[in-house]
């Protein structure tokens, strides 16, 4: 059996240009390259060329683009795997030119041109025009105007051209803050974009190449996305965040045909499928949930900064009543600095402290005071996104890697252990939404806390003649809840919802004698047992160890 260096993987479903694509690849490969095609639910029409370098798998019922690509990868024999779409043309010797620039930690893409696949030709008068929607008249421009009124023909044929449009060249790509694919033409002017093989933030999913081992290691076509969609984002994030590099090889090219909106060359897989892929992709990357990541998504954005649509500023709000042991408070502050990445920190405290940009409020400790501290800090930060931090939480640096995906949602990091400082006993539950783990867009937070203060002060005025004003007010505060968006009781501040994320390593919420809210250390202390789901106890906290050892090293 001949040695194979490169396996080209082509998943195809009802692709009218599949045979032409395979023929073009056969004409242009110069290395030990095989072509693997999966016919996903239908035979090829026209039929594929019979050739010893071509292997075909047929499924009578569709299994989906990602599943089809994975099936081809399993039978591939090459060191490298290149996934390509079924409507592409290629440069002469593109396979050896790509392999010549490959490294084991690379995902490599060629220069991309738009493919001029065919022209429409009028069967009556011979008039031609560029590929597009199926014509209805010779020639209509689809707005009711007839461009060629001297011909009444309604019969047309495709005349194959199959050439790259050299004026439509793409090297660099990115995705926006909704993880939607974008071309990045301006990037070519940066110093780091010069040269024949350069880094690119993202890619177009129609052609990419990596080692076959890396293909499986990264699960590069994760079927949990669904059949198709978000392939470029998946390839880019998995390559970069695993410690690899996504590179463009300017020395060779492929040309990709982009689908028209005509009924004869639309998407072969249902369009609603992409919604599932986008939802899964956003949760995976914006919430840093990929377990093989060495870096966060924010690391990638910072690497290519400035990135259009990602120029969001992030700030840290710290608030304290200054009743915590000063040594412990200092350790917590230093831990915040470690994860802050030099972002601006605004601290709002009831005594002057040397931490961040400090604002001292001469107020008595209490629920209204805490809300005023928070609002004061929010109004002074002037950043797009805000992380809440408290004086008695040891924040792991990975906590600050998160990027909120929605502007009207409160996000909570639920990877947190509550730790008793006197003996280091720690407990964890599945869905612990605490104010100390809150991150959201600043405008939403300001709106919430302005309304919260208004409601609290109004309630206090209503209770002014009540015999036990403190008890009644505290009862109202508990009904209102401390964490925005976490319940639907009538006392809620607003109707905005909350969501969760989990940092790579947990935060430690230190519980001590001066906490404003009480601590519960056994499941039977909870009236509603739903809050104990996932209850776990330990003295040896994952990623941290024993509390006494942690505090000694900080």
Give me the pLDDT at residue 261, please. 46
The domain in which residue 264 lies consists of: 6-111+170-304
Of the candidates 210, 254, 213, the one whose C-alpha atom is nearest the C-alpha of residue 102 is 210
Is 200 within 8 Å of 38 (Cβ atoms)?
no
Is 92 within 8 Å of 165 (Cβ atoms)?
no
Give me the pLDDT at residue 496, please. 97
Is 242 within 8 Å of 211 (Cβ atoms)?
no
Q: What letter does residue 359 receive in the DSSP assignment?
A: E
Give me the pLDDT at residue 340, please. 87
CATH number for the domain spanning 366: value is 3.90.550
Same domain, 285 and 325: no
Question: Could you identify the residue written with the tokens 């995906």?
Answer: 405
Same domain, 382 and 407: yes
CATH number for the domain spanning 216: value is 3.90.550.10
In this structure, the number of other CB atoms found within 10 A of the CB of residue 53 comes to 17
Express each pLDDT in 13-44 by its tens digit: 989 899 999 999 999 999 999 999 999 998 99
What 3-state DSSP class applies to 553? Answer: helix
Q: Tell me if 548 is assigned to some domain.
A: yes
Q: Tell me if 132 is assigned to some domain.
A: no
Of the candidates 501, 497, 459, the one whose C-alpha atom is nearest the C-alpha of residue 478 is 459
Same domain, 384 and 248: no
DSSP H or E run through 44: none
Which portions of the chain are predicted below pLDDT 70? 1, 140-147, 259-273, 515-516
Last residue of a domain, one of 276, 304, 332: 304
Of the candidates 516, 499, 378, the one whose C-alpha atom is nearest the C-alpha of residue 450 is 378
Q: Tell me if 381 is assigned to some domain.
A: yes
Same domain, 211 and 71: yes
Last residue of a domain, one of 277, 304, 331: 304
Question: Cα–Cα distance between 492 and 485 in angstroms, integer?
Answer: 8
Express each pLDDT in 49-59 by its tens digit: 999 999 999 99
CA angle 253, 259, 262 (to 5 degrees): 155
Q: Tell me if 121 is assigned to some domain.
A: no
Q: Tell me if 146 is assigned to some domain.
A: no
Same domain, 405 and 537: yes
Q: Tell me if 136 is assigned to some domain.
A: no
Question: Cα–Cα distance between 366 and 482 in angstroms, integer?
Answer: 12
What 3-state DSSP class applies to 352? Answer: coil
Global pTM exceeds 0.75: no
Question: Cα–Cα distance between 154 and 524 in angstroms, integer?
Answer: 79
Give me the pLDDT at residue 525, please. 84
> What tokens does 486 get?
């976490």
Give me the pLDDT at residue 208, please. 98
What 3-state DSSP class applies to 217? Answer: helix
> What tokens does 156 get?
């047309």
Of the candidates 430, 418, 425, the one whose C-alpha atom is nearest the C-alpha of residue 508 is 418
Of the candidates 171, 164, 233, the one whose C-alpha atom is nearest the C-alpha of residue 197 is 171
Same domain, 500 and 465: yes
Q: Tell me if 159 is assigned to some domain.
A: no
**Mean of the per-residue pLDDT values for the chain?**
91
Same domain, 398 and 463: yes
3-state secondary structure 424-486: CCEEECCCCCCHHHEEEEHHHHHHHHHHHHHHHHHHHHHCCCCCCHHHHHHHHHHHHCCCCCC
- Scored b (16 or more CB within 10 A) or e, 464-501 reads eeeeeeeeebeebbeebbbbbbbeeeeebbeebebbbb
Same domain, 377 and 251: no
Same domain, 348 and 487: yes
Last residue of a domain, one of 249, 279, 304: 304
Same domain, 292 and 354: no
Express each pLDDT in 101-110 by its tens digit: 999 999 999 9
> What tokens does 166 get?
């050299």
In this structure, the number of other CB atoms found within 10 A of the CB of residue 112 comes to 23
Same domain, 386 and 530: yes
56 Cβ neighbours under 8 A, 6+ residues apart? 37, 38, 39, 48
Of the candidates 20, 16, 88, 10, the one whose C-alpha atom is nearest the C-alpha of residue 265 is 16
Give me the pLDDT at residue 510, please. 94
> What tokens does 247 get?
């590179």
Domain count, the chain: 2
> What tokens does 201 get?
């933030």
Same domain, 263 and 323: no
Q: Tell me if 209 is assigned to some domain.
A: yes
Express each pLDDT in 126-142 by its tens digit: 888 888 778 888 876 55
């Amino acid at each position: 059996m001949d040695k194979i260096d490169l396996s080209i993987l082509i998943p195809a479903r009802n692709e009218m240009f599949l045979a032409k694509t395979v023929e073009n690849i056969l004409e242009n490969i110069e290395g030990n390259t095989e072509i693997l095609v999966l016919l996903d639910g239908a035979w090829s029409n026209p039929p594929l060329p019979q050739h010893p370098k071509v292997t075909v798998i047929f499924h009578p019922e569709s299994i989906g683009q990602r599943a089809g690509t994975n099936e081809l990868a399993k039978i591939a024999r090459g060191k490298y795997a290149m996934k390509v779409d079924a409507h592409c043309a290629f440069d002469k010797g593109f396979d050896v030119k790509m392999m010549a620039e490959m490294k084991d930690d690379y995902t490599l893409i060629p220069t991309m041109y738009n493919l001029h696949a065919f022209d429409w030709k009028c069967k009556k008068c011979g008039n031609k025009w560029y590929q597009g929607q199926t014509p209805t008249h010779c020639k209509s421009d689809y707005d009711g105007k007839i461009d060629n009124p001297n011909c009444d023909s309604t019969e047309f044929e495709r005349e194959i051209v199959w050439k790259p449009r050299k004026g439509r060249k793409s090297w660099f790509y990115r995705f926006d803050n909704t993880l939607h694919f974008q071309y990045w033409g301006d990037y070519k002017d940066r110093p780091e974009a010069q040269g024949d093989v350069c880094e690119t933030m993202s890619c177009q999913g129609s052609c990419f190449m990596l080692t076959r081992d890396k293909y499986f290691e990264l699960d590069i076509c994760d079927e949990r996305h669904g059949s198709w969609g978000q392939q470029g984002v998946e390839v880019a994030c998995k390559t970069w965040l695993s410690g690899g590099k996504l590179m463009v090889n300017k020395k060779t090219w492929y040309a990709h045909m982009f689908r028209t909106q005509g009924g004869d060359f639309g998407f072969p897989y249902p369009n609603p499928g992409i919604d599932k892929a986008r939802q899964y992709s956003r949760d995976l990357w914006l919430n840093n949930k990929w377990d093989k990541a060495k870096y966060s998504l924010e690391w990638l954005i910072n690497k290519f900064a400035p990135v259009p649509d990602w120029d969001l500023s992030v700030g840290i709000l710290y608030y304290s009543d200054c009743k915590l042991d000063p040594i412990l408070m200092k350790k917590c502050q230093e831990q915040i600095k470690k994860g802050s990445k030099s972002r601006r920190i605004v601290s709002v405290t009831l005594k002057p402290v040397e931490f961040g940009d400090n604002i001292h409020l001469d107020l008595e400790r209490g629920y209204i005071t805490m809300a005023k501290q928070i609002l004061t800090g929010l109004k002074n930060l002037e950043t797009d996104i805000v992380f809440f931090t408290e004086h008695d939480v040891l924040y792991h640096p990975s906590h600050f890697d998160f990027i909120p995906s929605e502007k009207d949602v409160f996000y909570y990091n639920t990877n947190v252990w509550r730790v008793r400082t006197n003996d280091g006993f720690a407990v964890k539950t599945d869905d612990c939404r605490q104010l100390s783990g809150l991150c959201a867009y600043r405008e939403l937070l300001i709106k919430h806390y302005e309304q919260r203060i208004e409601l609290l002060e109004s309630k206090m005025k209503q209770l002014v003649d009540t015999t036990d004003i403190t008890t009644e007010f505290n009862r109202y505060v508990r009904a209102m809840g401390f964490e925005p968006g976490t319940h639907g009781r009538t006392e809620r501040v607003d109707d905005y919802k909350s969501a969760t994320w989990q940092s790579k390593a947990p935060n430690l919420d230190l519980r001590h004698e001066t906490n404003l809210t009480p601590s519960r250390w056994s499941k039977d202390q909870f009236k509603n047992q739903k809050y104990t789901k996932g209850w776990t106890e330990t003295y040896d906290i994952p990623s941290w160890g024993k509390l006494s050892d942690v505090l000694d090293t900080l």
